[in-house]
Amino acid sequence: MIEPFDKIIFVTRPVFPTIEEVTDKLRDIWAAQWLTNNGPQHTMLEKELKAFLKVPYLSLFNNGTIALIVACQSLRLSGQVITTPFTFAATPHVLSWNNIAPIFCDIDEETMNIDADKIESMITPKTTAILPVHVFGIPCDVEKIQEVADRYGLRVVYDAAHTFGVEIGGRGIGTFGDISMLSFHATKLYHTVEGGALVMHDEHTKQRIDLLKNFGIKNEEEVVMPGINGKLDEMRAAIGRIMLNYVEGERLKRKRLHAVYNEELAEVEGIKLMPKVADNVKLNYQYYVVRIDEKIFGRSRDYVYGAFKNFNVYTRKYFHPLCSEFTCYRQLSSSSSANLPVANVVAQQVLSLPMYGELTEDDVRKICAILKSFRS
Ligand code: T4K
């Protein structure tokens, strides 16, 4: 008989800096008398993040969604953009906000990312770009995606919301494609409470993006494009600077917890673990996701999700329902289940288990024991 946890174990918890560290940084902001609009904390954080993430140019934003909207604007994307249905709502919504039709492409069974081999069959004369997502921080097939894009003259914008610190062969993940978006939301491995960034390859694109995130204001006399307010303020930038000191420690704690989950669940029939990645990939261990095959495990994912709550374990069904099932996208022809056979199966099976550095190894072992007890 396993006892429930005595407090709720959420799918994740934000990393909190000490209150003293925050107060210290607030004193700097008070001294500078500068709260937002490209202040000193903002300037320093951009510089520090560029070095940390191994990327040439970076522009901070008030959240990842606005950043991605601006990325599409900056490349003047239009018509249709090919993306994945297995993602957070923000990904296709960003296209809608740019008056672009999302075209959903099926996903790869192993990585759960867009199936690079199927992208070509979704291209039409209206296609202007590909918007893949490195889901759960597992890199997409970046080479194959670029090869298709080059062949058809398409742009590639990565939704890299989950990939803070991920590298392929020592290269920052943000450097693949034309632009990558990072999210610094509180629930991410690294955060600025709310926040995000775009990574780009050249000074010109950075300048254009910086204008777009500040109403298109060039100077007091000139507004040169219809921009938006996407600025990250000084408070959040200051917190971001503090959080850079925490991120590697948090990553390593999560790495350890991943190993414990893998060890405990490796032999459980009907449970598929996180995908394996090539040796040259540095992961960030932000999420721990399993897939439950009801036919073998004896219980459905929905049963497990509900039953976990009796033990005070609040898992999440990231990403169910598929974006192609939302009322605003259901009518698209690419949303048909015939077009998305793999995504439809994965969305029925996937379950995000608790993952954050404050969990202990014993907590994780107990979560696994609870999961195993559901087998029938
Ligand atoms: N693209 C992708 C692929 C994304 O996953 C996301 C965001 C975006 C784009 C957009 O980036 P942003 O515009 O957000 O920067 C959460 C996050 O809000 C969202 O940022 C994230 N993806 C998504 C996967 O997860 P919810 O609605 O599931 O969050 P919520 O509030 O239910 O929080 C999850 C759990 O975290 C809670 O059960 C408890 C815990 N929690 C949460 C918060 C906010 C805390 O303990 N403390 C907290 O302060 O979306």
Tens-place pLDDT, residues 41-84: 999 999 999 999 999 999 999 999 999 999 999 999 999 999 99
Q: How many CA atoms lie within 13 A of 253 on its CB side?
A: 15
In 3D, which of 79, 83, 86, 53 has the Cα closest to residue 68? 83
- Residue 71 in any domain: the answer is yes
CATH number at residue 87: 3.40.640.10
Pocket residue to mutate for ligand 1, from 88, 91, 315, most atoms within 8 A of Cβ: 88
Nearest CA to ligand 1 atom 20: 185
Domain that holds residue 152: 19-105+112-243
Q: Which two tokens stand for residue 275?
A: 């995908």
Question: Taking the mean position of all CA atoms in its chain, how far away is CA 140?
Answer: 12
Cα 173 from chain centroid (whole Å)? 12
CA of residue 95 to ligand 1 center, whole Å? 20
Cα 252 from chain centroid (whole Å): 19
- Ligand 1 binding site (Cβ under 6 Å of any ligand atom): 10-14, 63-65, 87-88, 90-91, 133, 159, 161-162, 183, 185-187, 196, 314, 318
According to DSSP, the residues that pair with 182 across neighbouring strands are: 197
Q: Does 352 fall in a domain?
A: yes
Cα 45–229–76 angle (5° rounding)? 95
Both 25 and 49 in one domain: the answer is: yes
pLDDT at 117: 98
How many Å apart are CA 306 and CA 372, to the nearest integer? 14
Entry pTM: 0.97
The confidence band for 1, taking pLDDT boundaries of 50, 70 and 90, is confident
Is position 257 within any domain? yes
